[in-house]
Structure 1
Amino acid sequence: MVVTQVDSTSLDMITIIPNVTSELSVVAFNHRAIVAAILLVFALVGLFGNALVIISVIVSRKLRTITNVLVVNLAFADFMACTFLPFQSAGLLSQTGRYPLHEMVCAAVAAVQYISACCSVYTLVAIAFVRWYVITRSIRGHQGLHTPKKIAIMVVIIWIISISFMVIPPVLGIGTLGYSVYYSICSVTDTNEQGGYFVVLLWTLIAIALLLTLLFYIRILRHVLRHNKQFRDKYAVDEEAGSSSTEAHQNKASSSISAGSCPPMIKAINRKEIEITKNLFMVVCVFMLCFLGTIVNFIIPGSSVLTIYSTMILLVNSIVNPIIYGLKHPNFQEVFNKILCCRPVE
Structure 2
Amino acid sequence: MDNNSLPKINDTTKAPVYSSLYPYEARAALVGVWILTCILGLVGNSLVIWSVILSKKLRTVTNAFVVNLSVADFWTSLSYPWICVALVSNESWPLESEVPCVIAAIQLYTGLGASLYSLASIALNRMVLVTQTMNTYSWWYTPRKVAVMIAMTWVCPCIVFFLPPILGIGVFGYDPQDNTCSDKDGHPRGPEYNLAQSVGLYPVPMLIIICCYTALYIHLKQHFRKMKKKDNMELSQTLSVDTTTRCQSHVPNRVSTASSINSVSTLQDSSVRHRQAISRQQLAITKNLFLVFCIFASLLSPYFISLAIPSSRKFALYGVTITVFNSCVNPIIYAVNHPQFKVVMRKIVKCRYSEIQEPSDLLKLLLSLRKN
1:331 to 340, 346, 350: 340
Deviation at 1:104, TM superposition (A): 2.2
Gaps of 5+ in 1: 1-20
SS in 2 for 1:98: coil
Residue type matched to 2:197 in 1?
A: L
Equivalent residue, structure 1, for 2:174: 179
**Contact 1:243 1:250 (8 Å CA) reproduced:** no
Aligned-CA RMSD value: 1.7
Q: Does 1:286 align with 2:286?
A: no
Q: Which residue matches 2:264?
A: 254
The answer to whether structure 1 residue 169 and structure 2 residue 164 are counterparts is: yes
Secondary structure of the residue aligned to 1:27 is: coil
Which has the higher Rg, Structure 1 or Structure 2?
2
Which has the larger displacement, 103-112 or 249-258? 249-258
Identity percentage over the alignment? Answer: 32
> C-alpha offsets along residues 228-274 of structure 1, whole Å, 9 cap, x if unaligned?
0110011101111111112358535313235x322221111111111
Matches within 5 A, 1:129-144: 129-144=124-139
1:125 and 2:135 aligned? no
What is the alpha-carbon distance in structure 1 between the residues aligned to residue 123 and residue 81 of structure 2? 31
Q: How far apart are residue 224 of structure 1 and its match?
A: 0.6
Instruction: From the superposition, tell whether residues 313 and 23 of structure 1 become closer, same or farther in structure 2 (CA, over 3 Å).
Output: closer
Q: Do structure 1's residue 49 and structure 2's residue 44 form an aligned pair? A: yes
- TM-score normalised per structure 1: 0.89
Aligned to 1:204: 199
For residues 312 and 291 of structure 2, the distance between their equivalents in structure 1, rounded to whole angstroms, comes to 32
Equivalent-residue separation in structure 1 for 2:34 and 2:18 (angstroms): 28
Contact 1:115 1:162 in 2 (8 A): yes
Distance 1:141 1:332, change over 3 A: same
Q: Secondary structure at the match of 1:193?
A: coil
The one-letter code of the counterpart of 2:266 is S
Unpaired segments of 5 or more residues in structure 2?
Answer: 1-15, 247-255, 358-372
- Which residue identity is paired with 1:289? S
**Is 1:243–1:253's contact at 8 Å kept on the other side of the alignment?**
no
Where does residue 6 of structure 1 map in the other structure? Answer: none
Matched, 1:269 2:278: yes
Amino acid at match of 1:241: Q
SS of structure 2 residue aligned to 1:100: coil
Q: Does 1:108 align with 2:117?
A: no
For residue 183 of structure 1, report the CA deviation from its aligned partner.
0.8
Secondary structure of 1:178 counterpart: strand
Hey, what does 1:65 align to over in structure 2? 60
The alignment partner of 1:79 has SS state of helix
The letter for the 2-side match of 1:226 is Q
Question: Match of 1:99?
Answer: 93
Deviations 1:300-345 (A, max 9, x none): 4336542211110011111111011101211011111111122121
Instruction: Count residues in correspondence.
Output: 324
The residue type paired with residue 226 of structure 2 is Q
The verdict on how the C-alpha distance between 1:118 and 1:274 changes in structure 2, with shifts beyond 3 A counting, is same
Contact 1:43 1:83 in 2 (8 A): yes
Q: Distance in 1 between matches of 2:221 and 2:238?
A: 26
